[in-house]
Structure 1
Amino acid sequence: MGRKVTLATCSLNQWALDFEGNLQRILESIRIAKEKGARYRLGPELEICGYGCSDHYFESDTILHSFQVLTKLLESPVTSDIICDVGMPVMHKNVRYNCRVIFLNKKILLIRPKMVMANAGNYRELRWFTPWNKSREIEEHFLPRTIQEITGQDTVPFGDAVLATKDTCLGSEICEELWAPNSPHIDMGLDGVEIFTNGSGSHHELRKAHLRVDLVRSTTTKNGGIYLLSNLRGCDSDRLYFDGCSMISINGDIVVQGSQFSLENVEVLTATLDLEDVRSYRAHTSSRCISASRVPPFHRVHVDFSLSSFDDVYTPTSEPIQWKYHTPAEEISLGPACWLWDYLRRSKQGGFLLPLSGGVDSSAVACIVYSMCRLVCQAVDAGNKEVLRDVRQLVGDDMYVPKMPQELCRRLLTTCYMATENSSKETRERAKTLSEQIGRYSIRT
């Protein structure tokens, strides 16, 4: 029949300027996506260089090394016969853009720049990037010669366009564009785009997962279609923690949920969905059809490739699921714990020193460190070899295997009681009791 598509999205723990490590995690996600039968793979925002590069975005080397990673991706046999959608910075006509680079079989199909910048609160994207302000317009982008030698292309389309495969049409959004009141997916959907993709760099904030899920659901409820969200995971080299939560939705239903707090560096989600479900859903709504009949068209980049197979009538499709949310208490315990683990393993320090007073602040920090140790033990028990390698490096023991959170906490957390003239016997006892319960190593004072 040729109407059922298998699509992949992923959460990656990318490090700022760790080009070799980022490359390996991207390749691993593509390999897993292909193993699961996917013909399209979406990655998170700026995954090649890492999101938290800060003013290193001003350096030309950051873009140069990003293209060097892209070269290796294009050359790798892992990326054959699957549409790969990666995030990286690109300089176009001497202007720096935050882009999606979409390629297939050593050919770049489209470079799609971000149109709405995140520039409030924790984000300062306008400091480093310029939004693409030419709606529904494309230009020719001249590729670096190293890329030209691989692809045989001198130029590729750059701008606000969509991809038309033999069986469907795909359109890209980038993070903040989903949150904007005039999101690109609105007009793309009216113009016949059936699959929306969003490579995101959305940090953890209490109850923010509810907002993401509501936005994705409402997008596909009003407009119909399939929506893939890919999000970063881990510490961004600064204050933020990206919490994953990648997902896939169709016609208002979530069909795949990614984990929100995990120590896995690579998580790949796939779903098999029926394009006919999108078409019948849309055609049933008269008001949408009237709006669609008068929307200005997007430029379509035609791709000689199909996301579906001819004989898929008996292929099962993914069923809707109920999203499972963490409680606020769980988020408070798990989010900072994941950040601490990433900070610790990246800095390669031997652990943490905490002055424990018996008050709320220091006690909360101690409990979060214990939560970190519990997550590490769970990951090791589940067979995560990367976490085990990092633990052994931190404690300086190549044979060490953490079994209990208290025992690991004793190796990674040192506490001391720092009293003042206002301290009481009760605060000392509370500090002592808590430190004993979590298994820390204590310096007597």
Structure 2
Amino acid sequence: MYGFVRVAAVSPKVYIAQPQKNGEEILKVLNKTAENDTAIALFPELCISGYTCADLFFQDNLLKSVYRTLEDILESSVSLETVFIVGAPLWHKNRLYNCAVVCQKGDFLGVVPKSYIPNKKEFYEKRWFVEGKGIRDEEIEINGKKVPFGTDLLFRTYDFDFGVEVCEDLWTVIPPSLYQAASGALLFFNLSASNDLVAKYEYRRELVKTQSARCIGGYIYASAGVHESTTDVVYGGHCIIAENGAVLAENRRFEREGAVVYADIDVERLKFTRVSETSFADSETKSFRIVKTYKTKTLKNIDRFFDPHPFVPSNPAKRDERCEEIFAIQAAGLAKRVEHTGVKKVVLGLSGGLDSTLALLVCSECMNILGRSQKDILAVTMPGFGTTSRTHENAKSLAESLGVELREIDITKACMQHFEDIGHNPQVHDVTYENTQARERTQILMDLANKEGGLVVGTGDLSEIALGFSTYAGDHISMYNVNSGVPKTLVRYLIHWVASKSDEKTSKILEDIISTPVSPELMPKGENEEIVQKTEDIIGPYELHDFFLYHMVKYGANPKKILYLAVRAFDGIYDKETIKSWLRLFVKRFFANQFKRSCMPDGPKVGTIALSPRGDWRMPSDAKADEWLRELE
């Protein structure tokens, strides 16, 4: 369903050296996972026998019981579509191996031996087991059945491959999962029996999370639980599911009745990320045998949280940290350009709106970095037909509070002259009427920059660039655009973050700017000075457009999937038809306005999504949106 696959990490109740009881426990949990539409379920290392059997692994009684239990599990799972992976000690060529056994629908699909056997303080596995590293192109016999055996196995279900490694394999310098990933596997399953020590779970969690990021995949980890604890070691039953550097699900450790953790992994997203964002294709590969599974469970409903504001961290502390970093990137980029060009001033239009406010704050920080005067900033407020007293006064007050040079140039007279020159009726409030104002302002800024030996700083944000909501050769153009990588939903938070660190007067001005409706103020204002032209009434809510942008550009999601995700993310805020109508508009505008992005000015990239034609987004200006719109319909 939309590329999502449900997986489960299980830490069942384990009975040491009692395979039959363990088999019953595994089947009980396995049936529950199957009822929950789980495609693949993972159990811990040596869960059939128990990990801590020690020298009992040499006992024939124990091993015979393991083989009988495996057969019982197969017979009882014939009707289950869920692929499941269990750990068992198995003989091969008179050697004992610590193995991951992959099963489905009453059949052994393959057996992967543990590559690296620990021989350290708590674990003396080399006393009982042989390393499986290097075993390739072999078969193992289990109860008279020949089964693919080796570390060269990948398993194929749906349209993706998954790999298996066992506990210590992850802790080595080059885990097997890295080669599995390079050879195409998208999910990785680790059967483990990792004991718990103070703070060890943090390291283990970070290891799993990091490995999922390095492999650009999903990493599913299941460890032995409290009933495995014996003699000198205690186990917590840690289960973790991570996707490309983010932990999707994790259990509370030390549960007496075991644990099952589920997560729906976006396989389509992982595929797109590998193709679009990394040097994945250049990775060193190894040859693997592909073992095909039977048809597996498909999802009926996706159980996953979808952040409605993917550009904005929900945690306030994390959000402040993100704002500080973005602001520093913006200021550092501008400082480099100012230093390189040797300009006397930076020049920008200051409207009293969000974007120009953020640009001015960045300019101010840039001068602080360079040890220059705030008077080296020339802010120009250019009231026109739609300028309200609120935005006008906020622009002037902010410039005064920051100590920058402010000039006011009314554009109404120049625009009226231009209307006369080109024969346009000023009572016709069309695109000519609007764009004349934007281009007049840009001309003023450019000419002032020439006159003052300055550089024009652009103010348009990432969301406006995506939608093409700017006037070509007007506010579309500058000499360096500090906001080009910042989405609209984040602009308010950046200004608020600066406000929290400013003096009381400046903070009050900034907070009023934040609460002002977003508007280009190009249409005549109302009788009571109210803003009549509100951007989000025209093009739709920016929170929706930023959501669409994020999933389309970062993960290559198609419109139908984006619609599904948005309906889930904005449940109770917008209905499906409303979201669909704005998504349709987003797709149309995104395609139609590539020509503006093809010649956009330089500006700092601050996040993983950027639309510069020189870097992250290269698209033909004449591409049509028909296929995308057709799918949405």
Kept in 1, the 8 Å contact 2:40–2:82? The answer is: yes
Q: What letter corresponds to residue 179 of structure 1 in structure 2?
A: W
Moved more, 58-67 or 96-105: 58-67
User: Which residue is 1:143 aligned to?
Assistant: 142
Determine if the alignment matches structure 1 residue 278 to structure 2 residue 296.
no
User: Which residue is 1:301 aligned to?
Assistant: 291
Determine if the alignment matches structure 1 residue 261 to structure 2 residue 262.
no
CA distance in 2: counterparts of 1:284 and 1:178, whole angstroms: 26
Q: What letter corresponds to residue 179 of structure 2 in structure 1?
A: D
User: Which residue is 1:36 aligned to?
Assistant: 36
Tell me by how many angstroms 1:279 deviates: 0.8
CA distance in 2: counterparts of 1:262 and 1:247, whole angstroms: 15
CA distance in 2: counterparts of 1:240 and 1:307, whole angstroms: 37
Structure 1 residues 290, 319: CA separation in 2 closer, same or farther (over 3 Å shift)? same
CA distance in 2: counterparts of 1:63 and 1:130, whole angstroms: 16
Alignment of 1:277-426 (within 5 A): 277-291=269-283, 294-308=284-298, 315-318=302-305
3-state SS of paired residue (1:222): helix
CA distance in 2: counterparts of 1:305 and 1:168, whole angstroms: 13
- Give the TM-score of the pair, scaled to structure 2: 0.47
Cα displacement string for residues 7-32 of structure 1 (whole angstroms, at most 9, x for unaligned residues): 11111231211223212221121022
Determine if the alignment matches structure 1 residue 169 to structure 2 residue 161.
yes
CA distance in 1: counterparts of 2:31 and 2:248, whole angstroms: 22
3-state SS of paired residue (1:281): helix
Kept in 2, the 8 Å contact 1:167–1:306? The answer is: no
Tell me by how many angstroms 1:226 deviates: 0.5
Q: What letter corresponds to residue 302 of structure 1 in structure 2?
A: K
Kept in 2, the 8 Å contact 1:31–1:78? The answer is: no
Alignment of 1:186-265 (within 5 A): 186-234=178-226, 235-264=228-257
Alignment of 1:82-161 (within 5 A): 82-134=82-134, 137-145=136-144, 154-160=145-151, 161=153
Tell me by how many angstroms 1:79 deviates: 6.3
CA distance in 2: counterparts of 1:237 and 1:99, whole angstroms: 22
Greater radius of gyration (CA)? 2
Moved more, 218-227 or 77-86: 77-86
User: Which residue is 1:53 aligned to?
Assistant: 53
Cα displacement string for residues 239-285 of structure 1 (whole angstroms, at most 9, x for unaligned residues): 11111120100010001011112222x31111112211111121223
Cα displacement string for residues 317-362 of structure 1 (whole angstroms, at most 9, x for unaligned residues): 355999xxxxxxxxxxxxxxxxxxxxxxxxxxxxxxxxxxxxxxxx
Structure with greater contact order relative to length (CA < 8 Å, sep ≥ 6): 1
Kept in 2, the 8 Å contact 1:8–1:271? The answer is: yes
Kept in 1, the 8 Å contact 2:162–2:185? The answer is: yes
Structure 1 residues 159, 125: CA separation in 2 closer, same or farther (over 3 Å shift)? same
CA distance in 1: counterparts of 2:223 and 2:78, whole angstroms: 22
Structure 1 residues 164, 202: CA separation in 2 closer, same or farther (over 3 Å shift)? same
- Give the TM-score of the pair, scaled to structure 1: 0.66
Q: What letter corresponds to residue 44 of structure 2 in structure 1?
A: P
Structure 1 residue ranges without an equivalent (≥5)? 146-153, 323-445
3-state SS of paired residue (1:259): coil
The structure with the greater share of residues assigned to strand is 1
User: Which residue is 1:184 aligned to?
Assistant: 176
| Aligned structure 1 segments of 4 or more residues deviating by more than 3 angstroms | 306-309, 314-322
3-state SS of paired residue (2:185): coil
3-state SS of paired residue (1:194): strand
CA distance in 1: counterparts of 2:72 and 2:244, whole angstroms: 37
Structure 1 residues 79, 57: CA separation in 2 closer, same or farther (over 3 Å shift)? farther
Kept in 1, the 8 Å contact 2:78–2:104? The answer is: no
Tell me by how many angstroms 1:290 deviates: 1.5
User: Which residue is 2:81 aligned to?
Assistant: 81
The CA RMSD measured in Å over matched residues stands at 2.2
Kept in 1, the 8 Å contact 2:77–2:106? The answer is: no
Structure 1 residues 225, 308: CA separation in 2 closer, same or farther (over 3 Å shift)? farther
Kept in 2, the 8 Å contact 1:16–1:50? The answer is: yes
Cα displacement string for residues 283-307 of structure 1 (whole angstroms, at most 9, x for unaligned residues): 223422222xx41221111223245
Structure 1 residues 262, 222: CA separation in 2 closer, same or farther (over 3 Å shift)? same
Structure 1 residues 169, 315: CA separation in 2 closer, same or farther (over 3 Å shift)? same
Structure 2 residue ranges without an equivalent (≥5)? 308-312, 315-633
CA distance in 1: counterparts of 2:28 and 2:78, whole angstroms: 9
Tell me by how many angstroms 1:140 deviates: 1.7
Kept in 1, the 8 Å contact 2:275–2:281? The answer is: yes
